């Protein structure tokens, strides 16, 4: 599977744009993808709340040195197609990341077969709570398991803030997947962080 994370100018794929794309081939984690995209839409579409999360601003993301979006989506699709299992995985991926990628592909008349089945990090973490009799954190009667909580649950520090790199996000998520699925680290850089007992 491909663990994917993107940063954007806001939450609406019909209005906002991708700032960068990061991805990890889970079965071959040294195989990674990362590109910074040039935002082409008007500045008034940018969402200040998104910049608080990812640390960018309206001017940096429009620098000419960044990759043109059409070239970026073509490169990502070409990289994806070199991988045997292209099932996409991530945190809330089907309601966020895939929608932005699909919108970008359609805009440039590209066929993007992402599939409708994904592997969701939140769901795995939720099921691990149930399996081990650990109370699920709730807010307003619904799950309150966010990405920071997941990292803590699997024994990792929170992803560095601001979230400037989709690749850093994808690496953290891939590491969390490995700990939830196999009970072991995926990347050497995280070996110093012990696996919690509820994952062993």
Q: What is the pTM of this model?
A: 0.96
Domains of the chain: 2-199 (3.30.420.10)
Mean pLDDT, the chain, integer: 97
Cα angle 101, 102, 105 (rounded to 5 degrees) comes to: 85
Report pLDDT digits (tens) over 53-100.
999 999 999 999 999 999 999 999 999 999 999 999 999 999 999 999
Q: Exposed, middle or buried, 102 (CB in 10 Å: 0-12/13-18/19+)?
A: middle
| pLDDT (0 to 100) of residue 112 | 86
Strands 142-143 and 32-36: unpaired
Nearest to 36 by CA among 55, 60, 2, 3: 60
H or E element in which residue 158 lies: none
Sign of CA pseudo-dihedral 165, 43, 93, 107: negative
């Amino acid at each position: 599977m491909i663990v994917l994370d993107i940063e954007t100018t806001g939450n609406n794929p019909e209005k906002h744009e991708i700032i960068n794309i990061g991805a990890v081939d889970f079965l071959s984690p040294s195989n990674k993808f990362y590109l910074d995209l040039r935002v082409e839409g008007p500045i008034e579409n940018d969402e200040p709340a998104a910049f608080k999360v990812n640390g960018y601003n309206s001017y940096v993301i429009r620098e000419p040195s960044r990759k043109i979006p059409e070239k970026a989506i073509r490169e990502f699709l070409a990289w994806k197609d070199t991988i045997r299992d292209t099932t996409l995985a991530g945190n809330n991926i089907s309601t966020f990341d895939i929608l932005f990628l699909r919108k970008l592909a359609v805009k440039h008349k590209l066929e993007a077969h992402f599939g409708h089945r994904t592997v969701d990090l939140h769901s795995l973490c939720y099921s691990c709570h149930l399996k081990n009799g650990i109370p699920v954190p709730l807010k307003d009667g619904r799950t309150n398991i966010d990405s920071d909580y997941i990292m803590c649950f699997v024994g990792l520090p929170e992803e560095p803030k601001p979230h400037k790199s989709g690749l850093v996000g994808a690496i953290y998520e891939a590491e969390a997947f490995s700990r939830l699925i196999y009970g072991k680290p995926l990347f050497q850089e995280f070996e110093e962080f012990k696996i919690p007992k509820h994952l062993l």
